[in-house]
């Protein structure tokens, strides 16, 4: 799995990055997490507000910080759809 945290470095973006790392670690997911801070790259995902959470090039969340439980459910849904 390849996660991208979209955001320019605001507090919400940092929180989303932290929560994503925690969920990946706590559930032993084999995943890579990258931070995307370049505004042009962020705009290419079509989101109107940051932070954004992208999993395998699919935008899962934008404009808010989800709970750890919501992140886990989104990952599980993604894994089950493959």
User: 24-33, pLDDT tens digit by residue?
Assistant: 999 999 999 9
pLDDT band at 62 (very low <50, low <70, confident <90, very high): very high
C-alpha pair distances (Å), 51 with each of 3, 16, 28, 30, 80: 13, 7, 24, 22, 25
Question: Which pTM does this prediction carry?
Answer: 0.93
Element (H, E) at 19: helix 11-26
**Which residue has tokens 């439980």?**
69
- Alpha-carbon distance 30 to 12, whole Å? 24
Exactly one of 13, 36, 61, 71 is catalytic; name it: 13
pLDDT of residue 33: 97
What is the fold of 2-80? Answer: Glutaredoxin (3.40.30)
Residue 7 predicted with pLDDT over 90 = yes
pLDDT band at 82 (very low <50, low <70, confident <90, very high): confident
Question: Catalytic residue at 23?
Answer: no
Question: Catalytic residue at 10?
Answer: yes
Q: Could you give phi then psi for residue 56, rounded to 5 degrees?
A: 50, 50
For the residues 42-65, what does the mean pLDDT come to? 95
Exactly one of 10, 39, 43, 49 is catalytic; name it: 10
Q: Could you give phi then psi for residue 7, rounded to 5 degrees?
A: 170, 155
């Amino acid at each position: 799995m390849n996660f991208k945290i979209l955001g320019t470095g605001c507090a919400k973006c940092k929180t989303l990055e932290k929560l994503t790392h925690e969920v990946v670690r706590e559930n032993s997911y084999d995943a890579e997490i990258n931070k995307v801070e370049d505004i042009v790259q962020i705009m290419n995902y079509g989101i109107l507000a940051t932070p954004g959470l992208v999993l395998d090039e699919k935008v899962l969340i934008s404009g808010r910080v989800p709970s750890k439980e919501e992140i886990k459910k989104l990952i599980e849904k993604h894994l089950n759809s493959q």
